[in-house]
Amino acid sequence: MRSRKTSALAFVAVAFALCVIASAAALAVTGYEVYAVQPGDTLAALAQRFGVEARAIADFNGIAPDAALVPGQSLSIPTGPDAANPKAQEKFSTEEKQAADVAATELSVEPAVQARNGPVVGYLGIAVENTSALLDPRRKERLCAISRGTNLCVSCQYGDYWGIMMSDGAVAWVPKPAVDVQHVELVAGIEVPAGGNGCPEAIQAAFRYYGLPYLYGGTPPGPTDCSGLVQAVFRDCGMALPRTAAAQFMAGYAVPLDQLAVGDRLYFVNSDGYIGHAGLYIGNGQFIHASSRRGYVGIDSLRSGFYRSRLAGARRP
């Protein structure tokens, strides 16, 4: 699969989808705990009870510092160690590189490829027999049926299975003998909506760095790490951000994870609970980031067990 022939099609995907991105309650998030407001609670009282600043609780939840709390209201209370650990990003990059999560399997395409209309995300595959798409090849959970002749986007592989990209960006798994992979590259048709609550211009800027090599401590236009990428993207958009992921996490305002918009900044913790990674949400449960595991700026899914369990929160702009 090394041919440089590029498909004129924007993006070929299976005509079925997994569920949309899970709500905040369904994501296993490290770095805060959810608290149900009780009668008489105030931000000041909660700050004293949990040992954090009232402003930190307000900013984390995207509410005003003097907001009145309503009984039954859910608040996310920041917890864990101080986020400003200077080695946090380095530790996360090591853990990311060693992650064995199936949904984070390496892409089969060469990372530096940049077609005219967007990044190459996979190869055209044609189902040569009736088969089943699996949610996870290790557990053999059947997701849905695939008919012979169906066009697929083959984006990665795991053992005896091809990973096929679904229409919502998730990955399903099909036995290799059931798919004939063509030497035709598929280009991501990333539609960036105008307006909205997010920062779509940031995604347009981010894709200019697609395929840039990963380097801890680096920043574009050369090899870059995660926070260097995010800082450069927003600098290109005329906005200043701090250099490290932990400092960036304190900038802007919190966005509930079930209300993510294109261009929102995503932050992840390492196994010690420190903020150690950053990326940008591109929609459909996917994000673009400088990945030590991939070794370049690429796209991954929030459905990946590793990233889902490490997602600490989102910030806007």
Pair of tokens at residue 43: 């931000």
Phi, psi values for residue 232, rounded to 5°:
-65, -40
| pLDDT tens-place values along the chain, 317 residues long | 433 333 333 333 332 222 223 333 223 333 556 678 888 889 888 877 766 778 878 877 778 888 899 888 878 776 554 445 668 899 999 998 887 664 444 434 444 344 444 566 678 888 899 998 887 777 677 888 898 888 888 877 777 888 887 765 567 889 999 998 877 767 665 444 444 566 778 888 888 888 889 999 899 989 999 999 999 999 999 998 888 898 888 888 888 888 888 899 999 999 888 889 999 998 767 888 999 988 888 888 887 778 888 998 899 98
Quick one: pLDDT at residue 218?
92
d(CA 35, CA 8) in angstroms, rounded, equals 51
Which of these, 72, 75, 89, 92, lies nearest to 24 by C-alpha position?
75
Instruction: Collapse the DSSP code of 221 into the 3-class scheme (helix H, G, I; strand E, B; otherwise coil) and give the result.
Output: coil
Residue the block writes with tokens 């004939």: 180
Which of these, 157, 102, 111, 29, lies nearest to 291 by C-alpha position?
111
Looking at the annotation, which residues are catalytic? 226, 277, 289
Phi, psi values for residue 88, rounded to 5°:
-60, -45
Quick one: pLDDT at residue 179?
93
Residue the block writes with tokens 């910030």: 315
Quick one: pLDDT at residue 123?
80
- For residues 313 and 257, the answer to whether their CB atoms sit within 8 Å is yes
Per DSSP, 31 falls in state S
Quick one: pLDDT at residue 119?
60
Quick one: pLDDT at residue 45?
85
Q: Quick: pLDDT tens for 173-229.
A: 899 999 988 777 676 654 444 445 667 788 888 888 888 899 998 999 899 999 999
d(CA 113, CA 93) in angstroms, rounded, equals 23
- For residues 162 and 173, the answer to whether their CB atoms sit within 8 Å is yes
Question: Could you tell me the pTM of the whole model?
Answer: 0.57
Residue the block writes with tokens 């697609």: 210
Angle between helices 54-61 and 43-50 (to 10 degrees): 110
Domain annotation for the chain: domains and CATH numbers:
32-78 (3.10.350.10), 86-104+191-316 (3.90.1720.10), 114-187 (2.30.30.40)
In angstroms, how far is the first alpha carbon of the chain from the final one? 39
Per DSSP, 283 falls in state E
Instruction: Collapse the DSSP code of 83 into the 3-class scheme (helix H, G, I; strand E, B; otherwise coil) and give the result.
Output: coil
